[in-house]
Chains A and B, each alone.
Chain A
Amino acid sequence: MATTKTVSKQRKNFVRQIWIQSALIVMSIFFMLPLLWMIVTAIKPLDETMKSPPVWIPSKFQWDNFWSAFSYNSKDLGYIPFLVYGRNTLYVTCLAVIGSVVSNSLVAYSFARIPWKGREWLFGITLATMMVPGPVLMVPVYALFKEFGWIGTFRPLWVPSFFGSAFNIFLLRQFLRTIPLELSEAAKLDGASEWRTFVDVIIPLARPALVVIAVFAFLWAWNDFMGPLLYLTDQQTFTLSMGLQFFQSQHTGTPWNLLMAASLIVVIPVIIVFFFAQKVFIQGIATTGMKS
């Protein structure tokens, strides 16, 4: 009796696994399409790009497209632009990630877990700042950074992230509010200060959410195009997202294969970062075990 139950449970579980796997595979094809198309285009000869019906298997695999894209313009500039742009992007991105994680976790903690007068009011304003469309703020923001003497430096691209951003504060606040209040109260009864409660109790529990913030900050800084476009004024300080623009031209044709190869060079580090970051979500399961 007991064994048949286990067997039927096992079979049920097996069927369930098949369903899950097939759903995952179907969706994967759907989501892989952009990347697949980029890869195929990146290794094609130029005259097979953008053809209809689409060429899925190139007549010849031009792997050196990657090198051509990587060293594009290097003869004219005297250096390999992708290395310089990559270094610049890395610098800005690292600072932006550190700044975002530190500042937003502090502010969100205040909004989510410390009752103080004026907090709801300030939170309302925080939310509202996101509702004003960016283009109407561009002129005064530019004027501000000019006043600071920051035009032509990386500062407009990373300093603000050390002061929190509405999106991240809101996101983290929502997460922190799902953590039972008793946990911090218990810690405080044990004599822990606000700071210790924050560092020792809340931060470990909020790890999945902090990783999300870090991933978003990384992505945002990595792909940011408007910021570098407006504030950087020297070829040597350009970032990767700007480097991609050099492949598109007004009248001399776009080398689609090189553009896609370059885009892949830019995107692959991000995919790798995400691949490792998402593992932290799994660790999140272990920590939440504490909650019950």
Chain B
Amino acid sequence: MKARHDQRMGILFAMPWILGFCIFLAFPLISSLYYSFTNFSILRSPHWIGTSNYQELMRDDVFHTSLKNTLTYAAASVPLATIFAILLAMLLNTKTKGMAFYRTIFYIPSLVPMVALGVLWLWIFNGHYGLLNEGLTKAGLPGPPWLTDPAWSKWTLVIISIWGTGNAMVIYLAGLQDVPQSLYEAAEIDGANAWGKTRHVTIPMISPVMLFNVIMGIIGSMQTFALPYVMFPGGAPARSTYFFSMYLYDTAFSYQRMGYASAMGWIMFGITLVLTLAALKLSAKHVHYEGG
């Protein structure tokens, strides 16, 4: 009886999404999967060409370069952003004066459209007269040519991604607010210090939110597009900042090979899925849920 009731209620409550998925997503998803097996060019109708897009991808060295760039970027920016966002959120969760202002200020870079900031970053990171290198030189550390040296250009983007941790930070903050004060009090009675409280109370309690942020971080960094597209046209220098989504976008819209781009999209889907499953698997033991 209860099971049947739950079944009905579950589907009823999930109905908006079930409908939304069927109306707005099912058709586009299936279409793009189909396109990946065709020579679709947006303007010309698709013809079935079997797996030859996928075969071509395996041989395509720009595909490999962009994949390597993207994975490197993800591997660097996801952990860095996670640590940074949690630390910021904890700082913003303390009781002190002027918190409303600090929270807003920390979130500002995420409010400003990234594209509007592209110019600002170029100006800060310019190796010749950029603000950053000016500061570094004064501190006795001559900075590298951030934008024009292929060894540094990717790291420039990783550093900039820290500015954009606002969304993750806000989510952590909401998560931290949900941690019952009594748990800290109990830990204090047990003699836990600040680190102990963080380790045994905060981290387990926000672990579901961490899982969310890490998975979104993986998906987001795999699809990084706007900022490198604006800052490094064509992935310059020497394709060191040419990311998967940029190659995909160029392939679809400037080379007009939507079929090939769709194949890239589904490969990206596969890789992201594997990474996400790995994250879920690794976290299964550590994520602590209160509810069902």
Which of A130, A176, A263 interacts with B219 by CB under 8 Å? Answer: A130
Known: A136-B248, A177-B290. A163 touches B16 (CB 8 A): yes
Contact with B29, one of A122, A129, A267, A274 (Cβ below 8 angstroms) = A129
Cβ contacts B107-137/A at 8 Å (1 or 0 each): 1111111011101100110101101001000
Cβ B272 vs Cβ A131 within 8 A: yes
CB distance from B244 to the nearest CB of A (A): 8
Query: Which residue of chain B is the closest to A167 with respect to CB atoms?
Result: B216
Residue A162 CB within 8 A of the other chain: yes
Question: Which stretch (B60-68, B73-81, B263-271) binds chain A?
Answer: B263-271
B290 contacts A180, C-beta separation under 8 Å: yes
A258 and B128 CA atoms in complex are apart in Å by 26
Which of B5-13, B142-150, B234-242 sits within the interface?
B5-13
A218 → chain B closest CB, angstroms = 10
> Quick one: which of B9, B96, B113, B272 contacts A24, CB cutoff 8 A?
B96
Verify if A114 is at the interface (C-beta below 8 Å from B): yes
Q: How many A-B contacts at CB < 8 Å in the complex? A: 280
Interface of A (DSSP majority class): helix
CA distance A237 to B83 in the complex (A): 42
Whether B104 contacts A278 by the Cβ 8 Å rule is: yes
Question: A34 CA to B164 CA in the complex, in Å?
Answer: 11
Asked if A208 CB lies within 8 Å of chain B CBs, one says yes
Question: Is there a chain A Cβ closer than 8 Å to B151's Cβ?
Answer: no
Q: Are B248 and A135 in contact, with the CB atoms below 8 A? A: yes
A99–B292 Cα gap in the complex (Å)?
Answer: 26
Judged by a CB distance under 8 angstroms, whether B193 is at the interface is no
Known A20-B91, A107-B17, A144-B24; judge A170-B212 contact (CB<8 A). Answer: yes
Contacts of A169 in B (CB 8 A): 17
B18, B42, B119, B208: the one contacting A174 at CB < 8 Å is: B208
Chain B positions within 8 Å of A252 at CB level = none
A201 to B199: give the CA distance in the assembly, Å.
Answer: 29
Q: In the complex the two chains form, is A288's CB within 8 Å of B205's CB?
A: no
How many residues on chain A are close to B (CB under 8 Å)?
99
Inter-subunit contact B273/A131 (CB<8 Å): yes
Question: In the complex, which residues of chain A have a beta carbon less than 8 angstroms from the beta carbon of B215?
Answer: 127, 170
Task: Give the shortest distance, in Å, between A97 (CB) and chain B (any CB).
Answer: 15
Chain A nearest CB from B200 CB (Å) reads: 16
B291 A263 Cβ-Cβ under 8 A: no
Q: Which residues in A have their C-beta under 8 angstroms from that of B107?
A: 274, 278
Question: In the complex, what distance in Å separates the CA atom of A38 from the CA atom of B113?
Answer: 12
Closest chain A residue to B113 by CB distance? A223
B179 and A288 contact, CB distance less than 8 A = yes
Count of B residues near A, CB < 8 Å? 105
Q: Which of B14, B180, B212, B249 contacts A135 (CB 8 A)?
A: B249
Chain B residues, Cβ within 8 Å of A38: 112, 116, 120
Q: A136-B32, A288-B177, A292-B182 are in contact. Are A274 and B258 (CB under 8 A)?
A: no
In the docked arrangement, what's the CA distance between A110 and B13, Å? 5
Instruction: Tell me if B51 counts as interface (CB < 8 A to partner A).
Output: no
Contacts A271-B104, A281-B173: A178 and B212 contacting too (C-beta < 8 A)? no
Interface string of B16-36 (1 = CB under 8 A from A): 111111011101110110011
A180 to B181 CA separation, bound complex (whole angstroms): 15
Min distance, Cβ A72 to any Cβ of chain B, angstroms:
16
CB pair B105–A32 under 8 Å, yes or no, is yes
A151 within 8 Å of B (CB atoms):
no
User: CB of A85 within 8 A of chain B?
Assistant: no
Contacts of A127 in B (CB 8 A): 215, 276
**Residue contacts A-B, CB under 8 angstroms, 8 given:** A34-B117, A103-B17, A107-B17, A110-B9, A111-B14, A140-B28, A278-B170, A282-B177
What 9 A-B pairs come out closest when comparing CB atoms?
Answer: A163-B20, A116-B10, A110-B13, A136-B265, A140-B31, A292-B182, A140-B28, A164-B17, A52-B129
Known: A107-B14, A115-B292. 11 other contacts (CB 8 A): A110-B11, A127-B215, A131-B222, A133-B223, A135-B265, A138-B252, A163-B23, A180-B291, A278-B100, A281-B174, A282-B177
The interface of chain B, by Cβ under 8 A from chain A, is 3, 5-7, 9-21, 23-25, 27-29, 31-32, 35-36, 42, 88, 91, 94, 96-100, 102-113, 115-117, 119-120, 123-124, 126, 128-129, 131, 134, 163, 167, 170-171, 173-175, 177-183, 205, 208-209, 211-212, 215-216, 219, 222-223, 244-245, 248-249, 252-253, 258, 261-262, 264-266, 268-269, 272-273, 276, 289-292
* Chain A residues within 8 Å of B, Cβ to Cβ: 17, 20-21, 23-24, 27-28, 31-35, 37-38, 50, 52-54, 103, 106-107, 109-117, 119, 122, 125-141, 143-144, 160, 162-164, 167, 169-171, 174-181, 184, 194, 198, 208-209, 211-212, 215-216, 219, 223, 225, 241, 244, 256, 259, 263, 267, 270-271, 274-275, 278-279, 281-282, 284-285, 288-289, 291-292
